[in-house]
Structure 1
Amino acid sequence: MKLSRRTMLAAGAASIAVALSACGGNGNATSAGADGGSEDVTLMLNWYPYGEHAPFYYGVEEGIFEKHGIDLTIKAGQGSTKTVQAAGQGQVDFGWADTPAVLANVDKGVAVKSLGVFLQTTPSAVQVFVDSGISSTEDLKGKTIAVSAGDAPTTTFPAFLEAAGLAESDVKQQNLDAAGKMAAMMSGKVDGLIGFAHDQGPTIASKSGKEMTYLRYADAGINFYSNGLIASNDYLAENPDLAERMMAAVSESFESAIADPEAAAKSMEGKDPQIPAQDVVLTQWNETIKLLHTDATEGKKPGVNDPADWEATIKTLSEAGLLKSAGDADKYFDSAYQPK
C-alpha cells in the first residue's frame, strides 16, 4: 500500500539506474516508495538523446529522482508516435512525447494522458543557412524545402505560409526522413528544411561549419504545445502517487538544469553514443530553455500548463487537419499531476 507523499520521508540511499540508451525531472514534493526505498520507473524519450533531454540526466546525477523515491531508467525513442504507443501499451511507465502526436493517437484510441507539457512554445521552424539569402518567410517563394509528411511541423506549414501571405504551392516540398532532410540541406539539394530548430539546427551548424538562421512558426503567430510527460490511463489509475512524484521530479530537474546549463549539458557526456558533442548539447539545451513557457505561464514552475494554451493548441492542430475528432483538453490532459 502506498503512503501519501505528504506523510513519507525523503528517499534513502537507493541507486539510480540510467539506461545507456537515453534521458528524465521537477517539483517540491519529496517522497520515497511504499517500502521507504525507491520505485523502479522507466521513461521513453521522443528520440535519441539530445540537448533537450539534459534535465533528465542532470536530475539523475543530482539525486533529484532519488529524492522523490524514483529509481529511473531512461530509454531512447524513435519518434513521438512510437513513444505514445509504447506508453499506451504499458511497455514503459512514462513517455516524453510531442503533444501533436499525443493528441492524434488519443483520437485514434490510444489510452494515454499528458501530465503536463514542458516545451510550451513550438520549436517548429524553417531552418536555413545564413548565406542562403532567405531571411523572411516571403523569401521562401520558389524555394525547395525538405519536409517529413505527417509530422506536426509539416502539417502546420500551410498555416505558417498563409500568415506571410504565401500559398502552399509557392514552395516546393521534398518529403524526406529526419536524417535525409539534414543530408539534403548540407549537400545543397534543398534550400532548407522544416523541423525542430533547437535540435536539428545546432547539429547542422556543427557538422557543416556554417551559421544557421530560423523562420520560427511561433514568431508568425502559429504556436502549439510540443514535448511533455505522458503515461497510460491504466498506469495513472494504478499509480497516482508515483505519477505525482514523477511529475514533481521532472519539473525540479528542469529548474536545476535551467540554473546551471553547463553542468546539465555535461551530465550527458558519455552516457550514450548517440549524444551529440558537448558544445552542441549545450546549445540545444540553451535553445530549449527559451521554449519552456508562454506568456500565461511565465514565472511558473516548468510543466505548469494554462487551460487557454491547451485550447489554442487543440484549435491550431484541428484547423491544420491533424486532428479528426478533437475534444476538450481533459480528453488529452490530466491536471491532477501539475507541479505544486
Structure 2
Amino acid sequence: MAAIALTAVTLACGGSATPAPAGPAQVDSVKVITGSGVALGQFYSMMLVGVDKGFFKKHNIDPTFTEGTGSATSTQQIATGQFDFGIEIGAAALIATVARGGAVKMVAQDDPVAPVGVLSVPPKLIKTPRDLIGKTIGLPPGTTQANIFPAFLKANNLQATQMNIVNSPLTGIQASLIQGRLDGYVSYAQSNIPILNSLGATGAYAMKFADFGFKLSPDAGIVTTNDIIKSKPDLVKRFVAAIEDSINYTLDGHVTEACASTAKLFPQAIKADVCTNQTRLEVANIKAYRAPGKPITLMSDQGWQEQINALVTYGNVPKVGTTADYYTNQFVPNQK
C-alpha cells in the first residue's frame, strides 16, 4: 500500500513517470491576399493547391484567401494590417511601398523572373520598344506593371508622351485589345497569352521586358509586415514552408490536379484550359530561372540589388537603406 501511495506522489510531483502526451498544436488562422484576381492569375494554383492537399494544415495554418486587384494595392493593404500575408506580390510594388515608408518585407519568392511585357495581337504586333511609338497602350492602375513601365521606357530611351497611355483595369483589358480599343497592354505573358487564346485571339504576342535589357528578379513572392516577422517568426517560417511544399508538388507533374484543387476555392474564376496553360508556362519559367539545387523560394541578393537600382535610376523611386530593408531569406526552408 505504501508503494502505491509513493507512486501516486511521484506521479503527482512529475517524477520519473512518462509525461502526459502533448495536446494538439495550435492552428493559426491567417488572412492572405493575392497579387491580382484569380481569374487573371490562374497559375496561383501552384500555391493554392496547398489548401486541398493539406500542406497548410501540415504546418498548422488555416489560410483564408482574398483576391487582390494589383500588387501595389495589395502591398498597401498588407502594410496597413488588413492582411497577414500576400502571395504573388510583385517585388517592384514592394520596393515602391517601402520607399513610401511601408513596413513590409518579402520573405520568399514564388516567381524568380518577371515575364512582364507588352501584349498585342495581329495586325498591330508590338515586337520592339520602338513599336510602342504612336500606339494606344493600356496600363492597369495599382499593379506592378504600372510601377515598372515608366522605368522600362526610360531604359529604352522612350518617353510616355510618344504614345497614348490609358488607365485600363485588369478586368476586361484583354477584350479591349481584341476589340481594337487598345493596340497593346502591359501585363504578364504567362497569364495573358492563355487568356487571349481562350477569347479567340490568334497570334497573340508578348514583347518581354527581359529581352530588352530590363530583367526583374525576383518577379514576385510572399510579403508580410515587419511586425509579424518580429512577433511571429515561427508563423512566417511555417507559411513559407507550406508555399514551398505546394509549388514543389505542382512542379512534380501535378499541374492539372493543382487547377482542379484551386477550382474548389474559386469556382467562378478557374477555367480548366486557361489554368492548365498558365500554370504550365509558370512551371517552365520557374524551372528555367530557379537556382539549381536551391529552394524555389530562395531569393538572390544580386537580383534584388539590380531591380532596386533599375527602379531608382529609371523609375524615380527613392532608395531606402539596403536590400535587407526589402527582403529576407531567413525563413526559407532547406537552405544548403
TM-score interval, smaller chain? 0.7 to 0.9
Instruction: Report the TM-score when normalising by structure 1.
Output: 0.81
2:102 is aligned with 1:110: yes
Cα distance in structure 1, aligned partners of 2:224 and 2:278? 26
The residue that corresponds to 1:188 in the other structure is 180
SS at match of 2:92: helix
SS at match of 1:337: coil
The residue that corresponds to 2:224 in the other structure is 231
Whether contact under 8 Å (1:255, 1:301) holds in the other structure is no
Distance 1:131 1:111, change over 3 A: same
Residue 231 of structure 1: how far off its partner (Å): 1.0
SS at match of 1:118: strand
2:154 is aligned with 1:178: no
Whether contact under 8 Å (1:121, 1:294) holds in the other structure is no
Residue 51 of structure 2, aligned match among 46, 50, 60:
60
Distance 1:68 1:322, change over 3 A: farther
Residue 53 of structure 1: how far off its partner (Å): 1.0
Residue 51 of structure 1, aligned match among 25, 42, 56:
42
Distance 1:256 1:130, change over 3 A: farther
Task: Extract unaligned runs of 5+ from structure 1.
Answer: 1-32
The one-letter amino acid of 2:33's match is M
SS at match of 2:262: coil
SS at match of 2:265: coil
Counting only pairs closer than 5 Å after superposition, residues 191-230 of structure 1 correspond to structure 2 as 191-224=183-216, 225-230=218-223
Number of residues of Structure 1 aligned to a counterpart in Structure 2? 308
Whether contact under 8 Å (2:195, 2:274) holds in the other structure is yes
Identity %: 26
Cα distance in structure 2, aligned partners of 1:51 and 1:62? 17
Instruction: Report the TM-score when normalising by structure 2.
Output: 0.82
Distance 1:144 1:112, change over 3 A: same
The residue that corresponds to 1:266 in the other structure is 260
Moved more, 230-239 or 285-294: 285-294
List per-residue Cα deviations over 1:230-277 (Å, max 9, x = no partner): 111111111111111111110111011111211112212243244131
The residue that corresponds to 2:283 in the other structure is 289
RMSD (Å), alpha carbons: 2.6
Moved more, 298-307 or 230-239: 298-307
Whether contact under 8 Å (2:70, 2:144) holds in the other structure is no
Distance 1:134 1:335, change over 3 A: closer
Cα distance in structure 1, aligned partners of 2:100 and 2:63? 30
Whether contact under 8 Å (1:127, 1:212) holds in the other structure is yes
Distance 1:34 1:275, change over 3 A: farther
Cα distance in structure 1, aligned partners of 2:172 and 2:235? 40
Whether contact under 8 Å (1:155, 1:322) holds in the other structure is no
Residue 280 of structure 1: how far off its partner (Å): 0.4
Structure with bigger gyration radius: 2
Residue 36 of structure 1, aligned match among 15, 22, 25:
25
The residue that corresponds to 2:5 in the other structure is none
Cα distance in structure 2, aligned partners of 1:44 and 1:101? 14
SS at match of 2:185: strand
Task: Extract unaligned runs of 5+ from structure 2.
Answer: 1-21
Cα distance in structure 1, aligned partners of 2:326 and 2:300? 14
SS at match of 1:48: coil
